[in-house]
């Protein structure tokens, strides 16, 4: 049976690199599969829609119509990977909705694989939100993201025993380059011939880790 992954990139905290990670993941999936659909649930700019308007749609969960419109799209097993850039302001409401409608169980029945990429900082709110997710969705694929730019050290104790997805920190001048709205990670890999450059290695390593994550999830399903 064909399965369709749905990646939920999220955090209850602002300024943790969530949209950056959603960008890299979306570009990786587009390069690998030739198609991807991304949903932007953010109030602040710049957001995923600004960086990847060709594959990103704005989604709203502030009313029932918007919630159902989004959920209907997420449980379609069409083979096209989905990425949700979930703003911190909508974190609680989003997971409350999917718990109430039983989306995780319905997704499993339809061949959809939800993967939650959770980006914490050292604030207590991150620990509380992580524990809520593990309690509410005990069988879901929950992956903590260790963003070195945010944490500068190991994950908090609450995440012990869980294999994280690591994102290396970049120098400020490279962060300014990838922060440009017209910057493409995949285009950079194709156009830049210096494979030893720090940015080239950073992008390539993240693409490789996303591929490894995919394979691990597939093996887990077998």
Convert the pLDDT of each residue in 113-145 to its tens digit.
999 999 999 999 999 999 999 999 999 999 999
Torsion of CA 112, 16, 14, 183, to 10 degrees: -80
User: What is the model's pTM?
Assistant: 0.96
Q: Could you list the pLDDT tens digit for every one of the 222 residues in the chain?
A: 789 999 999 999 999 999 999 999 999 999 999 999 999 999 877 799 999 999 999 999 999 999 999 999 999 999 999 999 999 999 999 999 999 999 999 999 999 999 999 999 999 999 999 999 999 999 999 999 999 999 877 788 899 888 899 999 999 999 999 999 999 999 999 998 888 999 999 999 999 999 999 998 877 765
Q: Are 64 and 110 in contact (CB under 8 A)?
A: no
Q: List, in order, residues 6 or more apart from 36 with CB less than 8 Å away.
A: 26, 29, 30, 55, 80, 81, 82, 83
Task: Look up tokens 């993201």; give the residue.
Answer: 145
> How far apart are alpha carbons 143 and 113 in whole angstroms?
13
The CATH number given to whatever domain includes residue 94 is: 3.40.50
pLDDT for 221 = 65
DSSP state letters, the chain: ---EEEEEEE-SSSSSSHHHHHHHHHHHHHHHHS--EEEEE-SSSS-HHHH-TTTEEE---SSHHHHHHHHHHHT--SS--EEEEE-GGGHHHHHHHHHHTTHHHHHHHHTEEEEEEE---SSHHHHHHHHHHHHH-TTSEEEEEEEHHHHSSSPPGGGTTSPPEEE----HHHHHHHTSTT--HHHHHHH---TTSHHHHHHHHHHHHHHHHHHHHHHHH-
Q: List, in order, residues 6 or more apart from 211 with CB less than 8 Å away.
A: 28, 32
pLDDT for 37 = 98
pLDDT for 185 = 98
pLDDT for 153 = 77
pLDDT for 222 = 53
pLDDT for 203 = 97
Number of domains in the chain: 1
pLDDT for 22 = 98
Q: Are 79 and 4 in contact (CB under 8 A)?
A: yes
Q: Which domain holds residue 59?
A: 4-221
């Amino acid at each position: 049976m064909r399965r369709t992954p749905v990646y939920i990139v999220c955090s209850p905290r602002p300024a943790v690199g969530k949209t950056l990670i959603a960008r890299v993941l979306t570009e990786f999936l587009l390069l690998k599969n030739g198609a991807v659909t991304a949903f932007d649930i953010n109030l602040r700019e710049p957001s995923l829609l600004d960086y990847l308007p060709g594959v990103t749609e704005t989604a709203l969960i502030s009313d029932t119509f918007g919630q159902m419109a989004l959920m209907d799209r997420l449980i379609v097993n069409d083979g096209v990977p989905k990425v949700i850039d979930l703003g911190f302001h909508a974190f609680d409401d989003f997971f409350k909705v999917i718990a109430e409608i039983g989306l995780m169980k319905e997704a499993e029945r339809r061949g959809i694989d939800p993967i939650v990429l959770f980006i914490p900082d050292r604030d207590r709110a991150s620990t509380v939100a992580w524990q809520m997710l593990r309690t509410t969705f005990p069988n879901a694929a929950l992956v903590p993201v260790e963003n070195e730019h945010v944490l500068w050290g190991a994950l908090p104790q609450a995440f012990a025993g869980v294999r994280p997805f690591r994102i290396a920190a970049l120098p400020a001048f490279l962060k300014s380059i990838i922060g440009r709205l017209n910057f493409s990670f995949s285009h950079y890999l194709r156009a830049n011939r210096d494979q030893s450059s720090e940015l080239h290695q950073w992008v390539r390593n993240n693409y490789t880790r996303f591929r490894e994550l995919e394979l691990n999830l597939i093996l887990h399903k077998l």
